[in-house]
Every structure is written in structure tokens, then in C-alpha cells.
């Protein structure tokens, strides 16, 4: 899990360096795929349920599962959420980040900041003895106290030998419910936060998910293991 997580984290670093005005999302996909393969790993997303690329690139009102394209060129003021998964020696890592492209609005900057902070609020709750929904509640209450909304349609998830394992981790809900957390449980925690309504629409390609009101959306994710010493983030360098 550490190896997979480290490769995902390093791939994100490559993407962070590459995101710029004029770059296509297809180019980012190629960079990430080449890097993952160079590390002896395999992109987890490619072919998953028929997904046609190695990473998800979700620009502006696209919430998640955006398909990289040579026709999608990043413009000044965009935000782009990049989700990357890799598998090595039978174990997966999964993480997402949203990047500004050039100069973004102050409101967009706040959205990115609050979404990333909400991820860490969730991670803080990934401790032995807590219930799963303590993570959900921490994320939702932080996001909503900042006047943004959390997407209901998609959740975080367990991760390990498969990219998506039980349990599902909603980014909303009352605290104190669900399984009690034990040492060794690996979770991919991933708030998707919208500037307007939490409602989303899946487009005809059956992947691209957009906000119903076309307002901006951000996404941050880490794979985390619950340990005796507290939560350990696996998808960090
Ligand atoms: Mg995930």
C-alpha cells in the first residue's frame, strides 16, 4: 500500500508541474501514465468499467470522472481536478487534487482551500474507536460551515487489493454510525465539494459528471491507513 501510494503521490507531482495554460488534458493523461508505468506499476483506472484513460481530468463544473481529451485545452482561470490510481504488487493507491490554472477567482481559491481542508478534517477522524460516519460528518459540517455543498452521489471507499472495497464513505451524514475503525483499515477519503447545489448530472458518455447548476466543483482525496499512532496518509511522498 505504501509503494502504490508513493507512486500515486509522485504522479501527482508530475501533474502539478505540468498543469498550465495551453496544455491538453490528454497530455496530462500521457504524463501520468508514462510515469506510473516507469515505476513498474499499472494505472488503476484504465479499462476500469470501460474507462478509456489512465487518469480522470475534471475541469471547472466537471465534478469527477472527466475523460482526458486532446480537444480539452486548459485556459487561464480554470480549475482542474485530477484523480490518479495505481496498482503495484496487487495493491492500489488512489488520490485526487484540484489545481488552479493561471489566475483563478478569489471564490475559486476559497473552494480549493476549503475542499482540501475538509479532506484533512475527515482524515483526522480516521482513528481507532471512531465510527465511519464520524469522517462523513466532519467533512460535511466543515464544508457547509463555509457555504459550499458536498456531493451525495459519489463516496469515498475502502481500498486495498481492489481499488474500490467496502465500506463506502459518504461525505455527509450524522456522526456515530457505521463500522468502528480498527488498526489496519485502509480508506480512500475523497470530498467532492460544489460551489452551488450538491446535485450533479452524468453526461451521455456515462462518465463525465457535472454540477447541475454549472457552478465550480473541487475534489481532494488521499488513501489513508488507520494505525495505533493515528491516521497515516499513504498517498504522500
Ligand atoms: Mg477514490
- Return the pLDDT at 200: 98
- Return the pLDDT at 15: 98
Cα of 107 from ligand 1 centre, angstroms: 25
Cα of 103 from ligand 1 centre, angstroms: 28
Cα of 180 from ligand 1 centre, angstroms: 21
Cα of 163 from ligand 1 centre, angstroms: 7
Strand intervals (E) in 23-89? 42-43, 55-59, 62-64, 79-88
Find the mean pLDDT for residues 41-47: 97
Cα of 159 from ligand 1 centre, angstroms: 8
- Return the pLDDT at 220: 98
If DSSP codes are grouped into helix, strand and coil, which group holds residue 178?
coil
- Return the pLDDT at 134: 98
Cα of 95 from ligand 1 centre, angstroms: 6
Average model confidence (pLDDT) across the chain: 98
- Return the pLDDT at 113: 98
Cα→Cα distances 225→8, 127, 156, 158, 168, Å:
15, 9, 14, 10, 15
Find the mean pLDDT for residues 97-104: 98
Find the mean pLDDT for residues 203-211: 97
Backbone angles phi, psi at 47, to 5 degrees: 85, -5
Q: Which grid cell sits at 1?
A: 500500500
Q: Where do runs of H (alpha helix) occur along the chain? A: 2-18, 25-38, 106-124, 132-145
- Return the pLDDT at 55: 98
Cα of 218 from ligand 1 centre, angstroms: 14
Residues 109-155 have pLDDT tens digits of 999 999 999 999 999 999 999 999 999 999 999 999 999 999 999 99
Looking at domain 2-233, which of 2.60.120.260, 3.40.1000.10, 3.40.50.11540, 3.90.230.10 is its CATH number?
3.90.230.10
Amino acid at each position: 500500500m505504501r509503494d502504490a501510494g508513493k507512486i500515486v503521490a509522485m504522479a501527482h507531482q508530475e501533474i502539478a508541474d505540468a498543469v498550465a495554460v495551453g496544455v491538453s488534458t490528454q497530455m496530462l493523461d500521457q504524463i501520468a501514465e508514462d510515469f506510473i508505468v516507469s515505476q513498474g506499476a499499472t494505472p488503476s483506472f484504465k479499462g476500469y468499467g470501460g474507462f478509456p484513460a489512465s487518469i480522470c481530468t475534471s475541469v471547472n463544473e466537471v465534478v469527477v470522472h472527466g475523460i482526458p481529451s486532446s480537444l480539452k485545452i486548459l485556459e487561464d482561470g480554470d480549475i482542474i481536478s485530477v484523480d490518479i490510481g495505481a496498482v503495484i504488487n496487487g495493491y492500489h493507491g488512489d488520490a485526487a487534487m484540484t489545481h488552479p490554472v493561471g489566475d483563478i477567482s478569489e471564490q475559486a481559491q476559497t473552494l480549493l482551500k476549503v475542499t482540501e481542508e475538509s479532506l484533512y478534517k475527515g482524515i483526522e477522524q480516521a482513528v481507532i474507536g471512531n465510527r465511519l460516519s464520524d469522517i462523513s460528518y466532519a467533512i460535511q459540517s466543515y464544508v457547509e460551515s463555509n457555504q459550499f455543498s458536498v456531493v451525495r452521489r459519489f463516496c469515498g471507499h475502502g481500498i486495498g487489493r481492489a481499488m474500490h472495497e467496502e465500506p463506502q464513505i459518504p461525505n455527509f451524514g450524522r456522526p456515530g454510525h457505521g463500522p468502528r475503525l480498527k488498526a489496519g483499515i485502509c480508506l480512500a477519503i475523497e470530498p467532492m465539494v460544489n460551489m452551488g447545489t450538491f446535485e450533479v448530472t452524468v453526461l451521455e458518455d456515462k462518465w463525465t459528471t457535472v454540477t447541475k447548476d454549472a457552478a465550480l466543483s473541487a475534489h481532494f482525496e488521499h488513501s489513508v491507513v488507520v494505525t495505533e499512532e493515528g491516521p497515516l496518509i499513504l498517498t504522500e511522498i
